[in-house]
Amino acid sequence: MDAMYIGIEIIKMVVIFLLMVQLVPILVWIERRGSAFIQNRFGPNRVGPLGLVQLLADAVKFAFKEEFIPGGSYKFLFLLAPVVALIPGVLAFAAIPLGAPFSLEPFEMFGNTWGPYDLKLQGYDYGIGIVFVLGVSSLAAYSLLMAGWGSANKYSLFGALRASAQMISYELGLGLSLVGILLLYGTFSFNEMIAIQDGPLTFMFMGKETIIPFLPNWGIFYQPLGAILFFVSVFAESNRLPFDLPEAEAELVAGYHTEYGGLKMNMFYIGEYGHMMVASALMATFYFGGYNLPFVTPEAINEMFTGMGFAFNGASLMTTLVSHLILMTKVFLFLWIFIWVRWTLPRFRYDQLMDLGWKTILPWALANTVITAFVVVLMRGA
Which residues of the chain form contacts with other proteins (CB under 8 A)?
A: 77, 126-128, 131-132, 134-136, 138-139, 141-142, 145-146, 148-149, 157, 160-161, 164-165, 167-168, 171, 175, 186-189
Q: Which is nearer to other proteins, 132 or 268 (CB)?
A: 132
- Residues 289, 245: Cα–Cα separation, whole Å: 33
Minimum CB–partner distance for residue 136 and other proteins (Å): 6
Q: Which is nearer to other proteins, 135 or 224 (CB)?
A: 135
Minimum CB–partner distance for residue 148 and other proteins (Å): 7
Minimum CB–partner distance for residue 186 and other proteins (Å): 8
Minimum CB–partner distance for residue 145 and other proteins (Å): 5
Minimum CB–partner distance for residue 17 and other proteins (Å): 18
Q: Which is nearer to other proteins, 128 or 304 (CB)?
A: 128
Q: Which is nearer to other proteins, 146 or 339 (CB)?
A: 146
Minimum CB–partner distance for residue 285 and other proteins (Å): 16
Q: Which is nearer to other proteins, 51 or 271 (CB)?
A: 271
Minimum CB–partner distance for residue 82 and other proteins (Å): 16
Q: Which residues pair with 210 in a beta bridge?
A: 203
Q: Which is nearer to other proteins, 28 or 179 (CB)?
A: 179
Minimum CB–partner distance for residue 138 and other proteins (Å): 3
Minimum CB–partner distance for residue 50 and other proteins (Å): 40
Residue 280: which of 221, 197, 338, 326 has the closest Cα?
338
Q: Which is nearer to other proteins, 245 or 301 (CB)?
A: 245
Q: Which is nearer to other proteins, 126 or 358 (CB)?
A: 126
* 107 phi and psi angles, rounded to 5 deg: -140, 165
Three-state SS letters, the chain: CCHHHHHHHHHHHHHHHHHHHHHHHHHHHHHHHHHHHHCCCCCCCCCCHHHCCHHHHHHHHHHHCCCCCCCCCCHHHHHHHHHHHHHHHHHHHHCCCCCCCEEECCEEECCEEECCEEECCCCCCCCCCHHHHHHHHCCHHHHHHHHHHHCCCHHHHHHHHHHHHHHHHHHHHHHHHHHHHHHHHCCCCHHHHHHHCCCEEEEEECCEEEEEEEEECCHHHHCHHHHHHHHHHHHHHCCCCCCCHHHCHHHHCCHHHCCCCHHHHHHHHHHHHHHHHHHHHHHHHHHCCCCCECCECHHHHHHHHHHCCCCHHHHHHHHHHHHHHHHHHHHHHHHHHHHHHHCCCCCCCHHHHHHHHHHHHHHHHHHHHHHHHHHHHHHHCC
- Residues 284, 331: Cα–Cα separation, whole Å: 7
Q: Which is nearer to other proteins, 77 or 296 (CB)?
A: 77
